[in-house]
Amino acid sequence: MSSTLTPVRSKRSALTKGQLPKYAPYVVLALALIVGAAILALIGFNAFGWGIVSAILFTAGLVGWSVVVEGSRKAKDKLATCLVVGSFLVALLPLISVIWTVLVNGVPGLIAPGFLTNSMNGVTGAYDNKAVEEGAPVIGGIYHALVGTVQMTLVATVISVPVGLLTAIYLVEYGNDGRLARAITFFVDVMTGIPSIVAGLFAAAFFFAVVGPGTKTGAVAAVALSVLMIPVVVRSSEEMLKIVPNELREAAYALGVRKWRTIIKVVIPTAISGIASGVTLAIARVIGETAPILVTAGFATSINNNVFGGWMASLPTFIYTQILNPTSPANPDPSSQRAWGAALVLIILVMVLNLGARLIARIFAPKTGR
Amino acid sequence: MSKRIDVKDLNVYYGDFLAVEDVSINIEAKSVTAFIGPSGCGKSTFLRTLNRMHEVLPGARVEGEVLMDGDNLYGPGVDPVTVRSQIGMVFQRPNPFPTMSIRDNVLAGVKLNNKKISKGEADVLVESSLRSANLWNEVKDRLEKPGSGLSGGQQQRLCIARAIAVEPQVILMDEPCSALDPISTLAIEDLINDLKDQYTVVIVTHNMQQAARVSEKTAFFNIAGTGKPGKLIEYGNTQTIFNNPAVKATEDYVSGRFG
């Protein structure tokens, strides 16, 4: 018979002594919220100030309690955690705020009948006055702008991707970090920083000089956009090509494969997922550009399916003109509703492109598995 | 289907830096030759000059002659791609193409060069190459799966199958077992033994027992100090090098008494 002596367990193990209880942050948070509300009530309550004051109180309270119970090392850890989480929330705030504002203001415009299928052709101030004064539905839509945005972005992509990808291939595979390669890298960096309006002016001036004064078409806008896109494509493709292991290139060379075939058949397929998502992000970057399109494609109220002739609308310029020059100056509300609707569509487009980039990256990613 | 290699007075440079100095060596056809020596003595660098892989690195160049059955690899007008399609190479770390299946990895040398091959011929080539690499039984049911899903030893044998599939004259192996466990190493040593019936094999290894097990001839490289060029110290039958070397440095190295 053996009997084991089980020592009477104290409530908390000796190893966890000197720690704050698990519920500590929640208690401090509740206290901070209550005290914060009380302080704010004295000087006039508002939600933003409540959040700030509570956050400061929470940090001070938790860190102070920690110093007393746990000592300075743990307290520093808690302070750092509070700062990191706080910064994250501050960074998140504008994003959520933007999405919320656009959703609230944009949904009425988006669900208005014919918003996605009609243009603004023939929509005059009289209709908008009627909509406000008599409650008639808001008519007019963004079809023409959607067509313009899609076409211009597509042409810009068709121009930028080959130029950008080939530049990246030169830099990584053939440049050898020589003088030309370094010069290209430098100018690509400079191009990344070009203000978009300057790109627009360049494209406009270029076409004025080559085709004729006053040339404003979707294609000119596409050239302006591609000036903005090319550096992004070069940069992202270059990074992706660089991380392809050199061993794969050597493996191909050792099989007696020529360099250009190695690049096409081994290097690019290995990097394609990163390249594709880089291109998609570059598209997302330029799809919302306003200034270069205003000076290169003008703005239109009717549908123009020809990128190479006539002024063309796009979503950003549509928003710009609807807000700045409402269709009915006396009653700008319908115009502003359309502008917010267009903004919502633009955000959805960008989001779809980002999701598309992830999807592409997953589809093309080198397959693993047994 | 195998050729001999004769090297005459070869100097290898990286830019202005002389990495390997004045190597002359005769490598017999259908034999296994091992290069041994301390790290940084130029074994791998020298091996890479034998199929002109050396010059892939920027600034790298050689002086001297490498003759394959009398034809100088570095002669004027010789296309390095032609050289490499006749002298295959297996690297230190297994490097199957991650975007390709096992089958496509074996056919890589054919497919990447856009040579036409019928499906039947391709099947035969895949099976014979994988059988030569002792890998067929392990992968025959999953030829369409990616090569990166294999174990390290299997990947290395896949890389050997890939090198064999282009039917080279010579196979160069740069420490093919250094990343592998003893069992995979044994599988590859068996494979090297089989390969010498058909191919000229040159292997760089840090493992002296391995050199003693697989090779007929052994070359010992050494370096006088950092910044000095690597040199071929002694070259002869493996038996002689390990049991009765002519040079003191070789004896110190193979008996573990150097430095």
DSSP characters for chain B?
Answer: ----EEEEEEEEEETTEEEEEEEEEEE-TT-EEEEE-STTSSHHHHHHHTTT-GGGSTTEEEEEEEEETTEETTSTT--HHHHHHHEEEE-SS----TTSBHHHHHTHHHHTTT----HHHHHHHHHHHHHHTT-HHHHTT-TTSBGGGS-HHHHHHHHHHHHHHT--SEEEEESTTTTS-HHHHHHHHHHHHHHTTTSEEEEE-S-HHHHHHH-SEEEEEEESSTTSPEEEEEEEEHHHHHHS-SSHHHHHHHTT---
Q: Which of A186, A100, A146 is nearest to A338 (CA)?
A: A146
CA distance B62 to B65: 9
Residue B259 lies in a domain: no
Residue B174 lies in a domain: yes
Helices (H), chain A: 24-43, 47-70, 72-111, 125-134, 143-169, 179-192, 196-210, 218-242, 246-254, 259-262, 268-287, 291-297, 315-324, 333-364
ipTM of the assembly?
0.88
Report the CATH number that the domain containing residue B50 is assigned in CATH. Answer: 3.40.50.300
CA distance A294 to A312: 9
Q: Do A255 and B51 touch (CB under 8 A)?
A: no
pLDDT at res. A1: 46
CA-nearest residue to A175 within chain B is: B58
Comparing CB atoms, the residue among A245, A256, A370 nearest residue B113 is A256
Mean pLDDT of B96-114: 88
pLDDT greater than 70 at residue B91:
yes
Asked if the C-beta of A252 comes within 8 angstroms of chain B's C-beta atoms, the answer is yes
Chain A residues close to B89, C-beta within 8 Å: 250, 254
Chain B residues close to A253, C-beta within 8 Å: 53, 56, 84
Element at A13 (helix H, strand E)? none
Contact call for residues B5 and B200 (beta carbons, < 8 A): yes
Residue A177 DSSP symbol = T
Q: Do A255 and B109 touch (CB under 8 A)?
A: yes
| Cross-strand partners of B11 | B63
Chain A residues close to B104, C-beta within 8 Å: none
On average, the pLDDT of chain B sits at 88
Q: Which tens digits make up the pLDDT trace of B55-90?
A: 888 888 888 889 988 889 888 888 988 889 889 999
Q: Do B112 and A255 touch (CB under 8 A)?
A: yes
Residue B115 lies in a domain: yes
Q: How far is A361 from chain B (nearest CA, A)?
A: 13
Question: Residues in chain A with pLDDT < 70?
Answer: 1-12, 366-370
Domain that holds residue B110: 5-254
Q: How confident is the model at residue B225 (pLDDT cuts 50, 70, 90)?
A: confident
Q: How far is CA A73 from CA A25, A68, A77, A79, B231, in A?
A: 17, 11, 6, 10, 58
Domain count, chain B: 1
Chain A residues close to B112, C-beta within 8 Å: 252, 255, 257, 261-262, 265-266
pLDDT at res. A166: 95
| Cross-strand partners of B106 | none
pLDDT at res. A121: 80
Mean pLDDT of B230-243: 90
Contact call for residues B108 and B100 (beta carbons, < 8 A): yes
pLDDT greater than 70 at residue B204:
yes
Comparing CB atoms, the residue among B98, B112, B145 nearest residue A265 is B112
CA-nearest residue to A269 within chain B is: B99
Asked if the C-beta of A265 comes within 8 angstroms of chain B's C-beta atoms, the answer is yes
DSSP codes of every residue in B128-139 = HHHHHTT-HHHH
Residue B68 lies in a domain: yes
pTM of the model: 0.81
Chain B residues close to A249, C-beta within 8 Å: 56
pLDDT at res. A233: 95
A-B C-beta contacts closer than 8 Å: 90
Residue of B50, B107, B112, B129 best to disrupt the A interface, most CBs of A under 10 A: B112
CA distance B23 to B18: 12
